Amino acid sequence: MLLLWHIAGKVAEPYILDSREARETARIKREIARLEAENRNLKNEIPYLKTEAGIEAEARKLGMVKEGEVALIIQNPIKEESEQETKRLAHPTLWQKIAGGVESLFVSDDAGKHKN
């Protein structure tokens, strides 16, 4: 029985390898198509980037400003995740309420000492 299993494995091996190679070939072809499309898009941008407007747009992306302009740097912008976190904290889950209740049994509000 073991010999039959071994023979069956040897017979099926080329087909298994062909299937893996076909999947890998398909993946590589998709990657090539994606890179070719990206290359076309980048080549299409070249004429615009050679214009005054294109140069200015790229310079502004790098944080550059024209003479006489004031640059504003915004630190810690509110992101969607932060807004979602704020909403989540405003509406605690059942487990958060339980944890808060258990914690309040051991820690006082005023001095952070254990209750007796």
**Cα separation, 34 vs 42, whole angstroms:** 12
30-71 pLDDT per residue, tens: 999 999 999 999 999 999 999 999 999 999 888 888 899 888
Which residues contact residue 107 at a Cβ distance below 8 angstroms, ignoring those fewer than 6 apart? 113, 114, 115
63-94 pLDDT per residue, tens: 888 899 888 777 776 666 666 666 666 666 77
**Cα separation, 45 vs 75, whole angstroms:** 31
Radius of gyration of the chain (CA): 31
Confidence label for 102 from pLDDT (cuts 50, 70 and 90): low
Higher confidence at residue 43 or residue 103? Answer: 43
pTM of the prediction?
Answer: 0.44
Q: Domain residue spans in the chain?
A: 1-70, 74-116
- At position 14, the amino acid (one-letter code) is P
Angstrom CA distances, 60 to 23, 24, 52, 63, stand at 43, 41, 12, 5
Higher confidence at residue 46 or residue 15? Answer: 46
